[in-house]
Structure 1
Amino acid sequence: MRDSASEVAGIRDAVHLCIDMQNIFAPGGLWATPWMERVLPTIAAIVAHHEARTVFTRFITPEDPQDRPGQWQSYFRRWQQATRNHLPPSALELVPALQRFVPPAAVVDKPAYSAFSNPRLAGLLRDKNVGTVVISGAETDVCVLSTVLSAVDLGFRVVIVEDALCSSSDVGHDALMTMYRTRFHGQVDLVTAEELAEFWHE
């Protein structure tokens, strides 16, 4: 059941955190996410309304698996093609439809799933006096999930734009939407892009 409008209303002191909308996840990319093309116009519309309040993240792979700690080494040995020794640099860039917003939108690179794995992000949000993060991007059940949980732990209010997310897994996406509604009430709100436009006024 959707949160009531009165509970979701009043988005302020917010930043739009757009997760990993990069060429590597676009059609034809090594880790292509089938839904990306479908949600890209929605994400671009959100950014267009909040350019200076948008932060894009990029998942930056290592040059070599040994450059990362622990289990990341075995992960990138399995995905050698995704290391920067093998990957074209353009693969890690934002998709062109979003790159054009930078600047004034900011870009934060990260070495792991969560956007907050780069400590620069938390500092940037504090400098902007941010209380709420509005989240879109890829993938619902990996980097978006990790970012949402980190944001909750750090005390941010989290607003997820559910029609501005993409995943490789319908099952994973649907399971996460259910989890947010049933387990994170009061910390995580789900809205559509249309509702976001109604509730978020800078």
Structure 2
Amino acid sequence: MEGIRDAAHLCIDMQNIFAKGGVWETPWMEKVLPVISEIAARYQERTVFTRFITPERPEDRRGQWRAYFTKWKRATRDDLAPGALDIVPALSRYSPPALVVDKPAYSAFFGSRLGHLLVERHVGTVVVSGAETDVCVLATVLGAVDLGFRVVIVQDALCSSSDTGHDALMTMYRTRFNEQIELVSTAELFDMWRPE
């Protein structure tokens, strides 16, 4: 595989709301957290953490998002405990210098400053980790493909609350998007991307 240069590590939604005891608990998070922490520690100045920011109330969103947050009212900011939307402590210690970008939807590129930030930093490759494989990671990865970024997914640094969804997406990345998306292990990533 080609070496990695001009890259940013996009760590998607590793927030307290998805951690153990959170409203959207993702059981695998504890397993991948040490791996993601190792990546963030190595590339602190090239890491961007994203946060999925829920509305204060369901009425603050339109269309299907309103229906979604009516069902998940306990995930709205009016009902959440303080700090629920923060990056988990094991990773937040890397910011700064790592950046935090907030987003209102699944894709990290929708309604956020991420695309402009990456262009300003002359990023050509995004290295993706985080939660959830089959929701926000999927939307962000497809957004990055659409924008023409080289996309490298660290397969042992992803988590989901659905084994079926995770496995289906990993198969799809390998078979349907193999010309635009690369799957690597953390060990392979460290061989390919030397800290600058």
User: Common fold, TM-score beyond 0.5?
Assistant: yes
Cα offset for 1:117? 1.1
Q: Work out whether 1:21 is the aligned partner of 2:50.
A: no
Written as runs of structure 1 = structure 2, the 5 A alignment for 1:9-158 is: 9-158=2-151
Q: What does the per-residue CA deviation read over 1:94-149, in whole Å, with 9 as the maximum and x for residues that have no partner? A: 10000100100000000000000134100000011000000000000000000000
In terms of fraction of residues, the more helix-rich structure is: 1
Length-normalised TM-score, structure 2: 0.98
Matched residues, percent identical? 70
Distance in 2 (CA, whole Å) between partners of 1:148 and 1:177 is 12
Counterpart-to-counterpart distance in 2, 1:146 and 1:67? 22
Aligned to 2:152, what secondary structure does the other structure show? Answer: strand
Find the aligned partners of 2:123 and 2:78 in 1 and give their Cα distance.
37
In structure 1, stretches of 5+ residues that fail to align are 1-7
**1:122 alignment partner, SS class:** helix
Runs of 4+ residues over 3 Å off in structure 1: none
Unaligned runs of 5+ in 2: none
Paired residues in the alignment total 195
List aligned pairs for 1:158-197, cutoff 5 A.
158-197=151-190
| Partner SS for 1:89 | coil
After TM superposition, the score normalised by the length of structure 1 is: 0.95
Distance 1:98 1:158 in 2: 22
Q: How much is the aligned-residue C-alpha RMSD, in angstroms?
A: 0.7
Distance 1:68 1:155 in 2: 29
| 8 Å Cα contact 2:101-2:112 kept in structure 1 | no
* 2:102–2:112 contact (8 Å) kept in structure 1: no
